[in-house]
């Protein structure tokens, strides 16, 4: 009797009466039944006491001391004497026709967050398809209940390849203020973006104050149409990467010109890293390289890159940034460096949106971090067979 009371306490299901407990090395089987002597007819709501038949349901519950818990639940079929219909009694802790308690399903779902379904399946000794079905059921509910677009004012957008080596890019939309993934679109075309945001309504689009993306015209052109009150920002990391490419282009040209020069080998990251992140030894190596008069184009490109980065780091408004960047462009053009001149052409095209960066210093840095986490999720699951599964997994892991 005392042991039954103990298990009633452990189960914390007050309306169940425990009739027996069996324990072996791997599981605990708890026989139980309802304490209630009646049930309400779902048709006429009358109280019914007449039982037509009863049967046992095997319900999986949360484990106890590492042992799987199975509730051998006696379930009655009542007869309503008023409307002459039969019905099965229902329990608040388990859904109709399900073989797991609601709390155990929730436990399985939460275990799947951050873990592969196969891992949870093995750990809980459950079939993969059952764990997958539970994850889909609860994740769809979580997504349906979430209000992703409430109070969104700043949007960042970027793409990621669904499959490595393929060009099937999907579009990741992020709330720049909170770091939450708002949604993932199966395509990144302008038409897709227009259709998606238009269905959210003009009221939503008019609330957007910041739109940040990389230097792809499809994003920019869509933002111009969709968000009339938004400041469009080209992400600093994307346009700065073009300047990094100019520096690396100068380095590669020297490697081709002087293939036997040892000091030009394995030095790529000396020029691409921020100077303050270099060790003392690396700085000395860099200074030695830049002092070589044969490497003048590389020196000019590197110094221009560092000067440009210094401007980006300054706490200045767009007006002051415009003055500083204009001076920088004039100085660079005077050098007549073909690698830098190529960057200046790109820079000039996107200048308006680059300048907007200094009005609050919005960037897609947080989006890039999210994309890296998404890539880890893809590796963890060895890819996804379809886009809906991929989208669901990403959305629930960033809720």
For 113-130, how does the pLDDT look when each residue is reduced to its tens digit (9 = 90+)? 988 888 999 999 999 999
User: Which DSSP string corresponds to 108-152?
Assistant: HHHHHTTS-HHHHHHHHT--HHHHHHHHHHHHHHHHHH--TTTT-
Q: Quick one: pLDDT at residue 265?
A: 92
Enumerate the domain spans of the chain.
1-99, 100-145, 154-235+363-397, 236-358
Lowest mean pLDDT among 167-171, 343-347, 372-376: 167-171
Q: Would the pLDDT of 394 be above 70?
A: yes
Higher pLDDT, 273 or 383: 273
Give the pLDDT band (50/70/90) at residue 243.
very high
Looking at every residue in the chain, the average pLDDT score rounds to 91
Q: Quick one: pLDDT at residue 167?
A: 65
Q: Would the pLDDT of 297 be above 60?
A: yes
Long-range contacts of 256-262 (CB under 8 A, 24+ apart): 258/294
Helix (H, G, I), strand (E, B) or coil at 189: coil
- Which helix (H) or strand (E) covers residue 76, if one does? strand 67-79
Q: Would the pLDDT of 111 be above 90?
A: yes
- Summarize pLDDT for 64-74 with one digit per residue, the tens: 888 999 999 99
Higher pLDDT, 368 or 291: 291
Sheet holding 231-234, edge to edge: 181-185, 169-175, 154-161, 210-213, 231-234
The residue to which tokens 């019905």 are assigned: 87
- Summarize pLDDT for 77-101 with one digit per residue, the tens: 999 999 889 999 999 999 988 999 9
Give the pLDDT band (50/70/90) at residue 2.
low
Q: Quick one: pLDDT at residue 244?
A: 95
Best CA proximity match to 306, nearest among 372, 255, 247, 394: 247
Q: Quick one: pLDDT at residue 165?
A: 56
Q: Quick one: pLDDT at residue 164?
A: 64
- Can you tell me the mean pLDDT for 313-337? 95
Whole-angstrom CA distances from 302 to 194, 243, 290, 372 are: 40, 9, 9, 28
Q: Quick one: pLDDT at residue 247?
A: 95
Q: Rounded to two decimals, what is the model's pTM?
A: 0.80
**Residues 262, 265, 270, 271, CA torsion sign:** positive
Q: Which CATH architecture has domain 154-235+363-397?
A: 2-Layer Sandwich (3.30)
Q: Helices marked H in the chain — which ranges?
A: 2-11, 102-112, 117-124, 128-145, 190-200, 202-207, 217-226, 236-257, 268-272, 280-290, 296-313, 318-335, 338-349, 351-355, 365-380, 387-397
Number of alpha carbons in the 13 Å side-chain half-sphere of residue 376 = 9
- Can you tell me the mean pLDDT for 319-344? 95
Helix (H, G, I), strand (E, B) or coil at 101: coil
Q: Would the pLDDT of 107 be above 80?
A: yes
- Summarize pLDDT for 353-389 with one digit per residue, the tens: 999 999 999 988 888 888 888 888 877 665 456 788 8
Q: Quick one: pLDDT at residue 387?
A: 81
Q: Quick one: pLDDT at residue 1?
A: 53
Best CA proximity match to 111, nearest among 125, 101, 121, 100: 121
Whole-angstrom CA distances from 63 to 27, 125, 222, 247 are: 8, 11, 52, 59
Q: Would the pLDDT of 234 be above 80?
A: yes
DSSP state of 385: S
| 128-145 vs 102-112: helix crossing angle, rounded to 10 | 90
Contact 230, 208 (CB under 8 A): yes
Long-range contacts of 259-265 (CB under 8 A, 24+ apart): 263/288, 263/289, 263/292, 264/289
Q: Quick one: pLDDT at residue 384?
A: 57
Q: Quick one: pLDDT at residue 169?
A: 82
| Cα–Cα distance for residue pair 69/27, rounded to 1 Å | 6
């Amino acid at each position: 009797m005392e042991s039954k009371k103990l298990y009633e306490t452990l189960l914390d299901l007050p309306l169940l009466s425990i009739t027996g407990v069996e324990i072996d090395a791997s599981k605990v089987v708890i026989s139980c039944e309802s304490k209630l002597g009646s049930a309400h007819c779902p048709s006429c709501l009358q109280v019914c006491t007449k039982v037509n038949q009863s049967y046992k349901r095997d319900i999986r519950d949360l484990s106890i001391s590492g042992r799987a818990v199975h509730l051998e639940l006696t379930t009655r079929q009542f007869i309503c004497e008023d409307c002459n219909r039969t019905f099965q009694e229902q329990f608040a802790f388990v859904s109709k026709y399900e073989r797991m308690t609601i709390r155990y399903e929730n436990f399985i779902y939460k275990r799947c967050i951050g873990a592969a379904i196969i891992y949870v399946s093995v750990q809980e000794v459950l079939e993969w398809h059952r764990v997958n079905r539970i994850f889909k059921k609860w994740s769809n509910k979580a997504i349906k209940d979430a209000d992703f677009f409430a109070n969104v004012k700043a949007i960042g957008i970027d793409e990621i390849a669904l499959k490595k080596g393929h060009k099937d890019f999907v579009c990741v939309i992020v709330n720049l203020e909170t770091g939450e993934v708002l949604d993932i679109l199966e395509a990144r075309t302008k038409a897709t973006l227009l259709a998606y945001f238009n269905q959210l309504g003009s009221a939503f689009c008019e609330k957007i104050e910041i739109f940040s993306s990389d230097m792809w015209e499809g994003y920019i052109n869509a933002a111009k149409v969709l968000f009339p009150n938004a400041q469009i920002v080209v992400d600093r990391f994307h346009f700065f990467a073009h300047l990094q490419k100019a520096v690396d282009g100068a380095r590669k040209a020297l490697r081709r010109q002087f293939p036997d020069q040892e000091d030009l080998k394995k030095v790529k990251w000396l020029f691409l890293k921020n100077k303050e992140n270099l060790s003392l030894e690396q700085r000395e190596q860099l200074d030695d390289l830049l002092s070589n008069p044969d490497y003048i184009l590389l020196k000019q490109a590197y110094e221009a890159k560092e000067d440009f980065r210094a401007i980006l780091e300054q706490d200045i408004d767009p007006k002051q940034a415009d003055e500083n960047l204009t001076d920088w462009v004039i100085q660079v053009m005077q050098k007549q460096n073909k690698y830098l001149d190529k960057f200046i052409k790109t820079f000039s095209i996107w200048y308006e949106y680059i300048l907007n960066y200094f009005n609050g210093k919005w960037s897609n840095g947080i989006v890039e971090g999210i994309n890296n986490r998404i890539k880890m999720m893809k590796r963890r699951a060895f890819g996804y067979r379809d886009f809906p599964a991929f989208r669901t997994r990403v959305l629930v892991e960033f809720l």
